[in-house]
Structure 1
C-alpha cells in the first residue's frame, strides 16, 4: 500500500518534549499538531543560526473533517525553558530562538514544543519538522500551485516581483513568495497568511486533480514529501493518521492569526500577545475553536 511506503519513507524521531506530549495514542479528535519549518534538518550546534522559519499549530476539531492553521509569529516574546543538553539556561527571547537553543533538528523542535506548551497549556498529539528543499520538489511534482497575490512584493532572495493577481507558481516561486515578509503592509503577519495559503493550495491541488488516481505520480509526491519530513506520530502508525484525516478538504481549512501586536523593546522588534490569545488557547484545549473563530473574525485569515 502507498500509505505503508510513505510510513517507511519518512524519518521518525522524538520531536516532542515529554511536558508537551499528549498522553494518548489514537487519532480521535480534537487533535493538535506542531508544524515546524526550517532550512536545516540536522543539528549544527547551538552556535549556528538555525532559527525556525515557520511555526504552526494545526488544530483538527472532533469530527476530523476540517482544520485550523494557527501561525505563531517568529518574533513572539516568550519564556524559553532551559535546555541542559545544549547548556542554555532558559529565559525570555523570541520564540524562534528556541529551535536554535535546542541545537536545531530534533532537540530544537523538542525545546520549541516545551516553550509552546508553557505558553498555551496545549499538549500535542504529534509534530513534524519540514525541510524546505524537499517541500519545493513536492510542489513541482504536483505541477505547481495557484497562489493569489494581493499586494506587490519584491523577493529579497531572487529580486522577483510578485504582482497582484492569481498566478500558477512552481515550487521555487511558491516558497519564495510564502517566505517574504519585507515591504508587506503587515510584515510578518502577511507572511504567516501566505504560508497558510500555500498549504491550502497544495491540498487543493491534490484533491481537485487526478493525483489520487495516478499511482505513479502520487508515489513520486509521497516520496518527495516524505524526504522532507521528520515526524513524531505519538505512537500512532502514520497510515492510521492519513486515513483518519481523509475527509479534510482544502475548502475546510481556515487560517488563524495569533492575536498579537508588534512592539519595540530596547530597540529590538518583538511580537506581544493580545488578550484574545488566551481565549484562543482555551478554545483549542476545550474543543470549541469553531465558536472562537465566529466570535473573533478579525483574527481569521482569508485563504
Structure 2
C-alpha cells in the first residue's frame, strides 16, 4: 500500500452524509442478476436479450486497470461499485462509492468470492486533472467523487484499486440506489439471519436475533447498520454479503425461474440503475459462463485490515495478510488462501 499512515487530505475530513440503504447493497446486485439469469436454462437467450436492452453500457475501467484477455475463461476479477448518486447541479458533488467489492471467480467458474473493500480504507488516489484532485492519500470511497462520479468516478476508483492490489479487472458494474427495494419485494422478500440484535438508527426498528423473512425495506435497512454492532462497519460488510447470498437463495428456490413475467419485472426493476463494462465480452456469453455458480458456492472475504484514528480522522489500514490475499488472486490460488486464513472468511 502506498498511502502513508499520517495526514490525509482535506477531503477526508469533510462531513460525510449517510448513504441511503440502496447504496449499501449495490455491491453485486448486478452479479446476482447475472447468476439468476444464467440459471434460466431454456429462457437464457430471451432473458439476455431483454437484459441487454435494459442496462447502460459504458467504459467503467481505467485503461491501467483493464484486463487484456476479454474472455470468460477464468479466473476472473470483477469490480462491483455501489454509489450514492443523486441529481445535483454539480453531478460530481459529494458522490461517494459507499459499497466497493471485488468478485473473484476461480478457474472453473463454479464458485465465487466476494471481497469487500472498506470505504474508509486509506489509499493513494491517482491525480484527477478534471476535478483538480492532485493525487494523494485519502479514503478510497473519495476516489469516486474526485473522478466526478458515474463513469469517471468508477474509472478513478478502478485505477486506485489496481495501484493498491496489482489486479487488473475483467469487467465492472456500477449500481445506484434505484430499483433495489422493488427487486427484493418482487422476489417475495428474503430470509436474513441476525446474529446480534441491533436497533436501526434510521427507523428505530429492532432486528432481533434469529432468522427472519424480510421485505425489501427491512432487508436494506438491516444491511445499512453498523453502529452498536461488535465489529462496526466490518459486520455491515458481512451483512451485505449475506444479503446477496439470500437473494440468490430466494431466486433459485421459488418459481421465478419458471415465471418469465416475474423475471422480466425483476430485470426492469434493476436495469435502469445498472451500468456495466463487460470488457468486450457479449453479455449472453458472460451469463452463460457464470451459469454454474450457485448460492451455496458463494463465499465472503473481509479484507484483512483494522480501524485506526489518524489526526482525529478514522481510517482503515491494511494488515499483512492482505498482501498475500492480493497475491492469491493473481496466482489463482484463493481457495488455498481461504483455507489458510479462516479468520477473514465469512460463511454466508
Aligned residue for 2:315, secondary structure, equals strand
TM-score by length of 2: 0.85
Count of aligned pairs between the two proteins:
303
Query: How many Å apart are 1:137 and its aligned residue?
Result: 1.5
Partner of 1:54: 99
CA contact (8 A) 1:34 1:113 kept: yes
Query: How many Å apart are 1:116 and its aligned residue?
Result: 0.3
CA contact (8 A) 2:178 2:272 kept: no
Q: CA RMSD in A?
A: 1.3
Partner of 2:224: 179
Partner of 2:300: 255
Distance 1:47 1:213 in 2: 42
Q: Does 1:121 align with 2:202?
A: no
Distance 2:93 2:137 in 1: 19
Partner of 1:275: 320
Distance 1:125 1:158 in 2: 39
Distance 2:155 2:109 in 1: 26
Partner of 2:178: 133
Unaligned runs of 5+ in 1: none
Distance 1:42 1:13 in 2: 19
Distance 2:169 2:87 in 1: 22
Distance 1:107 1:301 in 2: 32
Distance 1:75 1:129 in 2: 19
Distance 1:196 1:47 in 2: 28
Query: How many Å apart are 1:237 and its aligned residue?
Result: 1.2
Unaligned runs of 5+ in 2: 1-45
Aligned residue for 2:178, secondary structure, equals helix
TM-score by length of 1: 0.97
Distance 2:291 2:270 in 1: 17
Q: Does 1:68 align with 2:109?
A: no
Aligned residue for 2:309, secondary structure, equals strand
CA contact (8 A) 1:86 1:103 kept: yes
Aligned residue for 1:254, secondary structure, equals strand
Distance 1:77 1:232 in 2: 26
Distance 1:271 1:237 in 2: 37
When structure 1 is superposed on structure 2, of 22-31 and 37-46 the one drifting more is 37-46
